[in-house]
A and B are shown apart, each in its own frame.
Chain A
């Protein structure tokens, strides 16, 4: 479909000798191609973000005692709340990740991911600011580190990058290869074709 405008422009130029028309057509063609690429980009973003969340959640399930220590290490929650958060968080992460991987409720899942990432950023940032010696426990692990082996800048950078990705996806959730019902935006993309 994308070939016609340029072909028509070329023909037009041939017949009229008017080269001023051509750039406009060419620009339009680039726009069409870009619009067609965006849903595929969104698919890639969805799979990336979904994959990270599923893996992060799954790695926290096998060793629940480590998960408890990881949450406790932040010293932000009162002790009675620590185990439920440690056990429940991976379930939420996996649910969000699966929704993104399958392409169902993409906008809701992307927004939920963004909310979680903000919480993680606040947690890691505050641990850093308080000078705690902890591992973020993002991918399993009990939150302990060998003395002097914290990796706060990397953890903050990673979460911030994922937050940008999640927010972008929430803004434009239409993507290809989804299992879910056709999203309104996606329908627009289809009808535009």
Chain B
């Protein structure tokens, strides 16, 4: 009976197919479960690794940014990081946040520096210099830091007047922003020219004696809310017109207040 055997055979084939399909579905479910398990364990392991890395990095970076307790502070500074020039009893104070590598600071100094000097000399203004060093690069051999460190050396040994001279010299001879910065020898030359003790200055400039103070000063400026240089504040009010006339007008306004 050929017809009968064909029916039986096709019935068997259908059963086999159903069985195979069922097996395949089970295998797929098993594979899915296994994959989910693997993903879960992998995810947990990755999360633990990231967490450990997070803790380690935060601890290391906290340690790196904690200034040493023995950080040297130059003489003639006030409030830890401020270099005051002029009479403390002057009616108006002008706070200046500058970086020795900042071209806009050089532009401001060229435009309004002599005006400020006259106001200081007349006893109208006390200038308060807040050094910042955030333009260090590998190319300029950390010029911002080296220059501010040298300025600290000068104020320490030659006082505020010496600092003012050194400050003006550095802006007059500011190296290009993309250049290699002034050398330690050049800084030394200007420091001596500004009245610093040659014997003491050489070592302190070379060894960056005030590097921690420089970092502290930069951080303090950030805490003061200063994010761009030059920032000039006349009696607590930020100066927007950074020209000589703008400075004069702001000082006059502050005086009459």
Interface residues of A (CB under 8 A from B): 61, 64-69, 72-73, 75, 79, 83-84, 86-88, 90-92, 95, 99, 104-105, 108, 132-135, 142-149, 180-182, 184
Instruction: Report which of A79, A91, A143, A144 forms a contact with B54, defined as CB distance below 8 A.
Output: A91
Measured CB to CB, the residues of B under 8 A from A are 32, 35, 38-39, 42-43, 46, 50, 53-54, 57-58, 61-62, 64-65, 102-104, 132, 134, 215, 218-219, 222-223, 225-231, 242
Please state if A147 and B228 are interface contacts (CB–CB under 8 Å).
Answer: yes
A92 touches B54 (CB 8 A): yes
Are the CB atoms of B222 and A73 closer together than 8 Å? yes
Main secondary structure, interface of B, reads helix
What is the bound-complex CA distance between A108 and B227, given in angstroms? Answer: 35
Residues of B within 8 A of A68 (CB): 65, 219, 222
Q: Given A66-B134, A69-B218, A91-B57, do A104 and B228 touch, yes or no (CB 8 Å)?
A: no
Question: Given A65-B215, A68-B65, A144-B227, do A95 and B222 touch, yes or no (CB 8 Å)?
Answer: no
Q: Which residues of A contact B215 (CB under 8 A)?
A: 65
A92 touches B50 (CB 8 A): yes
The verdict on A72 contacting B132 (CB below 8 Å), with A84-B58, A133-B228, A146-B229 known, is no
From B43, B64, B227, A105 is in contact (CB under 8 Å) with: B43
List the A side residues contacting B226 at CB < 8 Å.
144
**Inside 8 A of A182's CB, which chain B residues have their CB?**
35
Contacts A69-B218, A133-B228, A147-B228; is A91 near B104 (CB within 8 Å)?
no
Could you tell me the distance in whole angstroms from the C-beta of A179 to the nearest C-beta in chain B? 11
